[in-house]
Amino acid sequence: MITPDNIAGLVVGEGCFYAESAADPKYRSGWRVRPGFCIEMRADDRAVLEEVRRQIGCGAIYELDFGRYRGYSHKNWHPHAKYRVSSVRDLGQYVLPFFREHPLFGRKRVAFAIFHDLVELLLEGQHATHDGLERARELASRLSSHNARGVETAGSASRRDLA
């Protein structure tokens, strides 16, 4: 049986809180900021991802078919499956409460704190203002930087204490 705390531990090792942030003329502001949460594992562990989806209460699971990896079996590469939540509403309604109740630790805790603030900002509609959009872009940038290097910038404390 997989417990919620097991899921929190799995996410510390295999999960990712991320945000896409880029110019996009389809958006009124000319910029898009889209947060997401995912866990990628070998496809033969798909049952674990199904249980994660069941316990969190939302998201989709799909097979990753990386054509560039065909023929890599001799290098011990295996097909992967990914669980992803990209709906801001679902992130706010299911993902944030789940990880507030089952806290993360280490670097993933910091990533979640930034992600949490970004999702809340979007849910509150603050991104519809110039200052709010700039704040969303800054949070997305900090999250990407943290994920890439594990380094937090000065003044990065979350507005919520998630400890």
Asked if residue 109 has pLDDT above 60, the reply is yes
What's the CATH superfamily of 4-149? Homing endonucleases (3.10.28.10)
What is the number of H-type helices and E-type strands within the chain?
6, 4
What's this model's pTM, rounded to 2 decimal places?
Answer: 0.85
Mean pLDDT of 99-123: 97
Q: Give the pLDDT band (50/70/90) at residue 31.
A: confident
> What pLDDT is stored for residue 163 in this prediction?
44
Which H/E stretch holds residue 55?
helix 46-56
Asked if residue 95 has pLDDT above 90, the reply is yes
What is the C-alpha separation between 58 and 113, in angstroms, rounded? 20
Residue 78 contacts residue 64 (beta carbons within 8 Å): no
Higher pLDDT, 112 or 70: 112
